[in-house]
Amino acid sequence: MEEKMAQQKSEPPKFYRWLVLVIISLAMFGNYYAYDCIAPLADVLKSQLGFSDKIIGLLNGIYSFPNIIMVLVGGVIIDRIGTRKGTLLFGSFCLAGAALTAATPNAWVMICGRLLFGLGAESLIVAVTTALAKWFRGKELSFAFGINLLIARMGSFAAQMSPTWASSAYDKWQWPLFIGVAFATFCITGPVLYILLERRAESHYALAKESEPDKVIWRDLFKMSPSFWYMVALCVTFYSAIFPFQTFAVKFFMEAHGATRESGGQLLAMLTLFAMIATPLFGLLVDKVAKRSLFMMFGSLLLVPVYLMMGYSSVSLFIPMAMMGVAYSLIPAIMWPSVAYIVEQKKLGTAYGLMTAIQNVGLFGFNVLVGWANDTWNASAANPSGYHAGMWIFSCLGFFGLLFAFLLRRAERGPHAHGLETITTKSASVEGVAREAER
């Protein structure tokens, strides 16, 4: 009887799906703000608390360290307890970590706070990503991911622009972090509202139930297809070129290019603003035309020259930042939803967790490595060339990202392709109709 009633229910209306997306993305907004509030504060931490670049790099790098293991465990937990409990659990870690970071000027306590924040933040992203795949698979998946990233990056944009809209807060190192705690409360309110919406949907609509996960056999995770591993490698190199650069970007703009903190924050925010606008558009584009790995090759290619342009030339910083903005829009809009075409739904949380875990090896390592390089080569306003070593590190990462995107395209044009180059919204709808006819 229950099965018959479920069959009579209609799918959730499009408005309801997009409402769920906006609500769950609030958690991402708070998450991204709390992460990005460190970069505009770097020179203040150095002048008021005496932090070195290595310590500043560690403040952001330690965020990634626990996720080398935890985010994979988090993915398995999400597959076990579901996306609703997962978003609420990991959102609580985010808020607690942000609060601890702001509580004291002691560097090691702040580092512990960022570690606690990291324990929740990446797993929260995995939970949100898994939830979106559940609601949008076979529909506007890439576009939905693009809108999710737009809302998340609004958090980054607000943090990077905070030297402009909250300039007086930078008179004391602690106040910008308190603002970060306020926004981190979204990591709780978003999941709570999402839980209420999904429970209502289950009683009113024919909503896909979260399937029982298979027993996780850890060695089988490393037997995934070559396409998945090429995407993981691209993920590591791409994000290691973006986020560690952002850690030192405002300080670099100030000391190597004579920018003010406000204009440096605006330059960094330009990257995020560009991505906010373009990411959903790129997601919509690939939903229509496919060619996903080809687009990822183009995005990786853009990253190769931008850091050397900033390090060695006098070209306006708007040009390399615009190029980086295109890459920062293009690759995430395609990469994350593409995993849903390669991995089945009941293992998707685990797959995203594995991918993010390996990504965090790079984020931790390169944040610390670039901070060490800046200290070793005495990067400062008196010695701007000290930043060159870091710029070469980032440029090499762009080159390797291009290589892995090329290998992914080659695999997806072969006999074991997963449809990354061919699946469009239209073709997915046709396949869905065919499956219904077979029943």
% of the chain at pLDDT higher than 90: 34
Per the structure block, which two tokens stand in for 305? 């020259």
Q: CB neighbours of 66 closer than 8 A, spacing ≥ 6?
A: 115, 118, 119
**What is the percentage of the chain residues whose pLDDT exceeds 70?**
88
Does residue 181 register a pLDDT over 90? yes
| The domain defined by 12-438 carries CATH number 1.20.1250.20 | yes
More confident residue, 146 or 318: 318
pLDDT for 427 equals 59
Q: CB within 8 A of 438, min separation 6: which ones?
A: none
Gap between the Cα atoms of 262 and 275, Å rounded:
20
Asked whether the predicted pLDDT for residue 138 surpasses 70, the reply is no
Q: What residues contact residue 168 under an 8 Å CB cut-off, 6+ apart?
A: none
Is the pLDDT assigned to residue 433 strictly greater than 60?
Answer: no
Residue in the block written with tokens 């295109």: 326
How do residues 238-276 score in pLDDT, each as one tens digit?
Answer: 999 998 898 889 889 999 999 888 888 888 888 888 877
291: left (phi over 0), alpha (psi -120 to 50) or beta: left
408 pLDDT above the threshold of 80: yes
pLDDT band at 39 (very low <50, low <70, confident <90, very high): confident
List the one residue out of 93, 261, 82, 118 whose CA is nearest residue 176: 261
Name which of 67-81, 210-224, 298-312, 419-433 the model is least confident about: 210-224
Q: Who contacts 211 (Cβ-Cβ below 8 Å, separation ≥6)?
A: 345, 346
Which of 20, 114, 99, 169 has its CA nearest to residue 364? 114
